[in-house]
Structure 1
């Protein structure tokens, strides 16, 4: 059985709107939600980037049943893993049994802000392994000291802990990260319908949920949807590793200048044809994902939720 979730995008929406949209999801047929964790938006046209942990605390008070996870927190540079451990433990205590901590190796866009060197991917995975070890050790609730290659923790103890510790699925965009997720994660998070990635995850011993993320732009006017997707989310057209390596929204704006509306229309489902939206999700299901979170571009979130409840979610 496939669960369909709702994506809360901090790059597009302010904190109060995100809480409102989480309430919409809680009252809807969506079965879970994920929330992005960014210091910057990808481009200035997206316009927002609130502190995710503040928003999660508000969502905890504003919802009753919504399962919520970060998608994705990077605990290796901008925020020390000992602090992430405390933040996630508090979130799990406020969302008992319905919080998970999605982690990954991050993007330079968010992680360079303290002036640290941006390491190559292999080093970032080594840092992430240490970070996950620190988080899980602190979640035991005992006084902890840790002296690793990348991080130091001295006499730290978390006093606020949930009854049930949250799982830690790990983001993977290629075979190295998929193997890493299989070895250390409680699940995997991917952003493309790539069955090879999931096979690599499983071959490395990976178990647990397999989260996929699909981006759409619902609107009754398909042309308006394409225009909005192109204005707000042109990054869908960026090739290769640019998403992880560019350092500022201005760089992303420069890199996406050549991305056309027609290219975005090919990459993102735009409009109100239910079959197109169902087919986009089914690509992930066919690849082996059992949980698919849907990112709707734009402020018409209530209309999107209604459209999905009536026309898309029943297919799953």
Structure 2
């Protein structure tokens, strides 16, 4: 049984539209919604990057049923982990327990803006591990003092905490990150349908730990228009996480993908009106063991049409093929 989610992609939509899309996605029948947390879009052509946490507060109050999740927040440079803990607790309260804090080690694209440089992958993972320790301690209640390798916390306390805590999902990309973060995560996040990431995480964290994946599609009645839009806005997607984490800005992504052809994008992303093709694109995630799959519709202005398609055709087809989730919630272990 699989839970199907909708991605509120801040890089291609303004804040008011994101809130409207969140309400529309809940009404269309999605089980959960994830939101990116960016300072920059991947490409200039995407055109947006509002502050995700303000939008999340509005979405939490505008929706009633769907689970909400950051996909993902980096709690190490732009944000101090003590501040991330406070934000997560507040959204947890506003959503009445529907929020999961998705965390990752970040991308140069978004974190360079605070002028601290961009550390190596090993250092980024060290910082993330220490940040999770701080966030966990604050979400548990009481005063927290911490003096570690990367962070200091001086007598911090969260005064407004949701009952039951806030689940933490952690993004992984290989064996090293799996082994490092499986002991501290309530769920695993991955953007590629690699079964070894899910099984490796569950070997440590437990067989029932949720796994959350993400799949871009470009739905449109016109396959050519869908392909052109995907190429214009999403050709960066094929670079892989190790590359995408390092490039410093939209100009870098534009240059790095200048030789990517529309047909290359169409080979990796379902483009057009074919519901069966969209269902088949989800299959690798289901077969890899993902319990949650969030869909990304490419193109900000196409969201209302996509939500109508999802309600009428795509979600029924996905649930017929893969089963409906009886419980899509992610909980603290």
The normalised TM-score by structure 1 is 0.97
Partner of 1:42: 42
Q: Distance in 2 between matches of 1:64 and 1:204?
A: 33
CA deviation profile, 1:12-44 (whole Å, cap 9, x unmatched): 101001000000011121100000001111111
Partner of 1:201: 201
Taking a change above 3 Å as real, the CA distance of residues 165 and 231 of structure 1, as seen in their structure-2 partners, is same
Q: Confirm or deny: 8 A CA contact 2:2 2:291 kept in the other structure.
A: yes
Partner of 1:274: 275
Q: Are residues 1:158 and 2:193 paired?
A: no
The normalised TM-score by structure 2 is 0.92
Partner of 2:181: 181
Partner of 2:26: 26
**Number of matched residues?**
316
- What's the secondary structure of 1:50's corresponding residue? coil
Q: Confirm or deny: 8 A CA contact 1:237 1:263 kept in the other structure.
A: no
Structure 2 spans left out of the alignment, 5+ residues: 320-333
Partner of 1:285: 286
Q: Map 1:35-74; keep pairs closer than 5 Å.
A: 35-74=35-74
Higher helix share: 2
Q: Are residues 1:255 and 2:256 paired?
A: yes
Q: Confirm or deny: 8 A CA contact 2:129 2:181 kept in the other structure.
A: no
- RMSD (Å), alpha carbons: 1.2
Q: Distance in 2 between matches of 1:265 and 1:139?
A: 43
- What's the secondary structure of 1:204's corresponding residue? helix
Q: Distance in 1 between matches of 2:75 and 2:51?
A: 14
Q: Distance in 1 between matches of 2:121 and 2:154?
A: 27
- What's the secondary structure of 1:85's corresponding residue? helix
- What's the secondary structure of 1:27's corresponding residue? helix
Give how far 1:140 is off. Answer: 2.2
Partner of 2:108: 108
Taking a change above 3 Å as real, the CA distance of residues 116 and 300 of structure 1, as seen in their structure-2 partners, is same
Q: Are residues 1:314 and 2:316 paired?
A: yes
Q: Distance in 2 between matches of 1:8 and 1:181?
A: 25
CA deviation profile, 1:145-190 (whole Å, cap 9, x unmatched): 1101100000111111112211001011222222223221101011
Taking a change above 3 Å as real, the CA distance of residues 125 and 240 of structure 1, as seen in their structure-2 partners, is closer
Q: Map 1:71-150; keep pairs closer than 5 Å.
A: 71-150=71-150
Partner of 2:227: 226
Taking a change above 3 Å as real, the CA distance of residues 240 and 146 of structure 1, as seen in their structure-2 partners, is closer
Q: Confirm or deny: 8 A CA contact 1:236 1:267 kept in the other structure.
A: no
Q: Are residues 1:243 and 2:237 paired?
A: no
- What's the secondary structure of 2:205's corresponding residue? coil
Segment drifting more, 209-218 vs 238-247: 238-247
Q: Distance in 1 between matches of 2:78 and 2:128?
A: 12
Partner of 1:300: 302
- What's the secondary structure of 2:277's corresponding residue? helix
Q: Confirm or deny: 8 A CA contact 1:36 1:73 kept in the other structure.
A: yes
